[in-house]
Structure formats: structure tokens, C-alpha cells
Amino acid sequence: MINIQNLGFTYPGAATPVLSGLNFHIEQGEIYGLLGPSGSGKSTTQKILMGLLRGFTGSALVFDQPIENIDRSFYERIGVSFELPTLYLRLTARENLSLFAALYDKPTRDPMEILKLVDLADAAEQRVEDFSKGMKMRLNLCRSLLHDPELLFFDEPTTGQDPARARITHELILRLKREGKTIFLTTHNMAEADEICDRVGFLTNGNIPVSGIPADLKRQYGRPELEVVTTGQNGVHKVRFPMENLADNTEFLTTLRQSEILSLHTQEASLDDVFIKATARQDKAP
């Protein structure tokens, strides 16, 4: 669906490049998450692939076509939800969607049906200026679905949303995947990426040093541990032991025999751990 090779980009007038040699691909039907701290170039990467930024180096194919060659029909096939909502504040939610729907050549979906998907049906007749930031983000997402596109770009789709609303957005994204859509999302929220992405790439220093399936990365970079919480004369203590060869770990066995155990928990590596290790490795590289 998307194939990027050696992608580089510098904003006009900037001293240093934002992207310097990115390589990644996105398969049809998958949810790909580009992760990285604020300012790492996630939105820039997406804007290049939407055909909004010119002057990049390397090769960027979307739908097997070089992005330089796209025409109007490209925008009938992609849906975009920008980081900052692009909506008419004086209009209601439904009026916004009807207006944007009119821009497409192909038939569009019923705005009310889409508003229901993100729990905004009750707010359909409210002016967007009265919406919270989270509501605007969800309406922004609706906008990208009007023309039923096959490839979706979601830039930080759960910004400003409480956990319950974020869950609604996650469910919507997973539902889109079940319908066969391809989703390219960006996030700085590692837990979110872990929950919904099939594959992720870590963007740091203009590059993607590590990418893969979240579960594989956690296994590869993380070291599962057992956290033991004990209590005794000196108060409560937490100790962590590697899961590997636990039965031969004398310190662990002594703890079990000699302390009163409050709890035992296995600790899986998180994507945060992977990110910290991956970026530390890159910093050490020449």
C-alpha cells in the first residue's frame, strides 16, 4: 500500500533535516503506527505521503504510484484526519460533514451514520464552536470517513480524549481494519500503539532504527521479570528477578523462604522499554 525508501526531507530554510533516510512499508489491511516523541517528524512523514509536501528525496510510493504523480483521484482514495481539526466552527457537526461530503466526486456516506460510530449522534445539531477538543477530534475522524476511502491517515487520533473516548476511537480503528481498510496512524502513546497496531516503527533522529510487530519487539528488547513485594521488620520492599532460570536463582529462593510475600507479579517489557533501548542504541551508533 505504501513503500518508502530512503526518504529525506528538510523544511525550506531549516538548518537540519527532519527526515534522513526513512525506510518502511505498509501492507494492505494493516494498522501501522509511526511512534516517536513530539517534533520527531511523524506529521511531516504523513504530509509527504498525502502529497502535501514537495521537495523530498528518496522514493515514496502510495498505491504503487510515486507520490509525485498523484492527481485528484488520489484524494478520493485516501482519508485524512489531521492533528489539528480542520472544521467550520460556526456550522453544526452535521453541516460540516455535509459540506465536506459535497467535495467528493463519488457517493458519500450518511453523516448521521458516521457520527454514530464515534458517539457524536446526539451532538449532530450543535455548533462545532461549542465542542470540546476531544469532540472536535472525533468529528475530524468522521470527516475522513465520508467517502469510504481505502487508506486512512490518522495523526494522533486520540489527542485530548479521556480513556473511555479513546477506547471508542480504538474500536472504530479496529472496525475499519475489519472492513479491509489500511490505516497509517501516528501516536506518541506507546500503550495505544501496543493495543491496536499490527506493526510499529520508532521514528527518532530522522530515522526508523527499529520496527516490527509489538509483541515481537517486546520479546526481543525486553527481559520479562518477576516483581516480588515483601514485608518485614524494615518495611515493604520490591525486588525484581529475571524470569530466566528463576528456579536456580538463589537470591530469589532465599527471598521466598525468608520473607513474607505480599505479591508476585510478572512484568512484561513495554513498548516504552523497547523505545528507550532502540533510541539509546542509535545514539551510540557513529
Backbone φ, ψ for residue 217 (5° rounding): -65, -40
Query: Is residue 205 helix, strand or coil?
Result: coil
44 in contact with ligand ADP (CB under 6 A): yes
Sign of the torsion formed by the C-alpha atoms of 164, 94, 30 and 277: negative
Query: How near is the Cβ of 157 to ligand ADP at its closest, in Å?
Result: 13
Selected binder of ligand ADP within 41, 111, 157, 206 (CB under 6 A): 41
Neighbours of 103 (CB within 10 A): 11
43 in contact with Mg ion (CB under 5 A): yes
Window of 32-40, 89-97, 125-133, 251-259 that interacts with ligand ADP by CB under 6 A: 32-40
Q: Which residue has the cell 467517502?
A: 147
DSSP 8-state secondary structure symbol assigned to residue 127: B
Query: How near is the Cβ of 57 to ligand ADP at its closest, in Å?
Result: 16
Query: How near is the Cβ of 142 to ligand ADP at its closest, in Å?
Result: 22
Q: Which residue has the cell 520527531?
A: 40
Cβ closest to ligand ADP, residue 41 vs residue 79 = 41
43 in contact with ligand ADP (CB under 6 A): yes
Amino acid at position 219, single letter:
R
Residues 6+ apart with CB under 8 A from 238: 227, 228, 229
Window of 11-19, 66-74, 217-225, 233-241 that interacts with ligand ADP by CB under 6 A: 11-19
Determine how β-strand 2-9 pairs with β-strand 57-62. antiparallel
Window of 34-42, 72-80, 108-116, 163-171 that interacts with Mg ion by CB under 5 A: 34-42
Query: How near is the Cβ of 188 to ligand ADP at its closest, in Å?
Result: 8
Which residues would be at the binding site for ligand ADP (CB under 6 A)? Answer: 11, 14, 18, 36, 38-44
